[in-house]
Amino acid sequence: MIHIVFNEADIEVLKKAQELDESLAGEVVIIRDDFAVGPVVNIYVTEGYQQRRDWWKELVDQSPYKTEETMSLVDDKLAVHNLKKALDENAKEELWIWMGQNQHDVCGYYWLMSQLSNYQGRVFVLYLNNLPFINEKGQIFYPTWLHEIQPKEFLKAKRLCRKITLSEFEVDPDEWRKLCDDNDMVRILEGGKKIAGKGEDFYDKDVMAGLTNEWQRGNKVMHNILSKMKIKTGDVFLLWRMKKLAEQEKIEINGDTSKGWKDFEVKLKSAVATEPVAEETSVQ
């Protein structure tokens, strides 16, 4: 079997689970792009894919990541090509798609499975949707992301594995196609596999809530924002929104955001007095 995940941190925890259970043995492949944000119209044709790639490149070039993240975008199309090749060359090969209860994984699932309809019956999904697990302290919790689950708990999670049905291969790509046609810049999970489109400013309130009137270094600001957000997104997208808010003169950025997270500072825009202060008059 070949396991598919959508986050770098998921790889390590799944490999640890494989060490505990040989029945999970298999290659782990990651789909890196975050399809929950950015343009997705005509994403399966060259023009649409290039538009998305150019958008990401603009964002990444203004971030501390630069070429590392830019080059990773190419890997997703190659990953799908290699997955199909593996299925074609080995009739017994299976794909297991793992996803947590978050829009990043679910949008990645939609993007991927829409390209695998010819392999119905050999593509499986493990959706950890609203299911309780035990954390390191022995407490019950409901994970949003796969890497929040202990490796030993994956042995329980594997029982959720099921084939993607013929009906899902008909309905889910249509749902994804509609989202692509709408081309909203942000997509969030409303429950189950229901994705709703939002405007590009959807996370601006989270950015503003993480800032103060005092200068803070970029790494501290990003930590504050991400730790308080209920619906998570990536730091590159949030940095892009910071720059847009600065253009709107709602916040201020000092320094070069493309060097490092500690090389720039951010704060709320200082209030500017719009009326002159009245002069005091003495009472005779």
Nearest Cα to 267, choosing from 237, 246, 247?
Answer: 246
Q: What is the pTM of this model?
A: 0.89
Collapsed DSSP state (helix, strand, coil) of residue 188 = strand
pLDDT tens, 117-159? 999 999 999 999 888 898 888 899 999 999 999 998 888 888 8
Which tokens belong to 112?
Answer: 């991927």
Helices 166-182 and 103-113 cross at an angle (nearest 10°) of 110
- Rounded to whole angstroms, how far apart are CA atoms 113 and 234? 23
pLDDT of residue 100: 94
pLDDT digits (tens, 9 = 90+) for 158-176: 888 999 999 999 999 999 9
φ and ψ at 63, to 5 degrees? -115, 170
Average pLDDT across the chain, whole number: 90
**Ramachandran bin of 233, using left for φ above 0, alpha for ψ from -120 to 50, beta for the remaining angles:** beta
Token couple for 253: 């950025």
**Interval 213-227 mean pLDDT:** 95
Q: What is the average pLDDT across 208-215?
A: 94
From its phi and psi, is residue 262 left (phi > 0), alpha (psi between -120 and 50) or beta? Answer: alpha
In three-state secondary structure terms, 94 is coil
Residue 239 Ramachandran class (φ > 0 left, ψ -120 to 50 alpha, else beta): alpha
Domains of the chain: 2-180 (3.40.1360.10), 204-268 (1.10.10)
In the sheet that 251-255 helps form, which strands lie side by side, from edge to edge? 216-217, 264-268, 251-255
**DSSP-based three-state secondary structure for 277:** coil
